[in-house]
Amino acid sequence: MAEFGLVVIGAHIGIHIKEELEEYKNMKALLVEPVEHNVKSIKKNLKNFKNLIIEEIALADKTEIRDFFFIKEKSIHKLKKHWASGIGSFDKKHILSHRNKRFKVEEEDIQKKEIQCLTFKDLIEKYEITSIEKLNIDIEGSEYEILNEIDYDKINIKKIMFEYKHFDGYFKTGVKFEEILSKLKGKNYTTTKIDEENILAIKF
């Protein structure tokens, strides 16, 4: 049985979680990231942290092999947006929806690969996790699948930070979003909008 300090679903290149990793440096940290070139960056950017476990997989509501779409490594510089490496989805249209006059993503910038998907339950059982100090989820609209599947009675998660802006489609919130807020409230969490993208849920 293991207690984890930080679990990050959608770790991207790791830079944005350095401060949190420092906070939990005396506990285990698990980073989930399906994109190979992002995993390489994580290993480089976070090489000084010795408490990391990295899983090059995706989380979903079923254990299966699925097609996963993401921005090609060579296109990140061309698109001139550092955050482009963090756009990955099971739905290619979701990536193309980001196109605007300052981010001219095209079909040719998107790579597809078959990726192993695990459920949150699979992950918990694999590492025998009994508690998590903080769970971060930022996976471009698939947050609902994870938050809906978690057995909140079986595992003690003190804080959950999750992106909510794509819950019911590209920049849409609706029924799914309200369902998760209600579920978290029923499991003794208070929820606060941190900004226009993220919500922090704290168990009381």
93-108 per-position pLDDT tens digit: 999 999 998 899 999 9
Task: Tell whether the model's pLDDT for residue 170 goes beyond 90.
Answer: no
- What average pLDDT does the chain have? 95
42 vs 141, which has greater pLDDT?
Answer: 42
Q: Which of 110, 97, 98, 105 is nearest to 80 (CA)?
A: 105
Residue 134 — very low, low, confident or very high, per pLDDT cuts 50/70/90? very high
Spatial contact of 129 and 2, defined as CB atoms under 8 Å apart = yes
Superfamily of domain 2-63+118-203: Vaccinia Virus protein VP39 (3.40.50.150)
Model-wide pTM > 0.85: yes
Residue 128: CB atoms within 10 Å: 8
Structure confidence at residue 129 (pLDDT):
97
171 vs 66, which has greater pLDDT?
Answer: 66
Beta strands in the chain (DSSP E): 2-9, 28-32, 52-55, 58-59, 64-71, 88-89, 110-118, 129-137, 156-163, 189-193, 198-203
Structure confidence at residue 167 (pLDDT):
92
Structure confidence at residue 141 (pLDDT):
83
The share of the chain scoring above pLDDT 70, in percent, equals 100
Pairing of strands 129-137, 156-163: parallel
Pairing of strands 198-203, 156-163: antiparallel
- Looking at residue 184, the DSSP 8-state letter turns out to be H
User: Among all chains, which residue has been given the structure tokens 């025998």?
Assistant: 128
3-class state of residue 71 by DSSP: strand
Structure confidence at residue 65 (pLDDT):
97
Domain ranges of the chain: 2-63+118-203, 66-115
Structure confidence at residue 188 (pLDDT):
98
Pairwise CA distance, residues 1 & 38, whole Å: 29
Token pair, residue 82, equals 């550092």
Spatial contact of 59 and 142, defined as CB atoms under 8 Å apart = yes
Task: Tell whether the model's pLDDT for residue 169 goes beyond 90.
Answer: no
Residue 171 — very low, low, confident or very high, per pLDDT cuts 50/70/90? confident
Q: Could you read off the pLDDT of 10-32 as tens digits, one per residue?
A: 999 999 999 999 999 999 999 99
Q: Could you read off the pLDDT of 49-86 as tens digits, one per residue?
A: 999 999 999 999 999 999 999 999 999 999 988 889 99
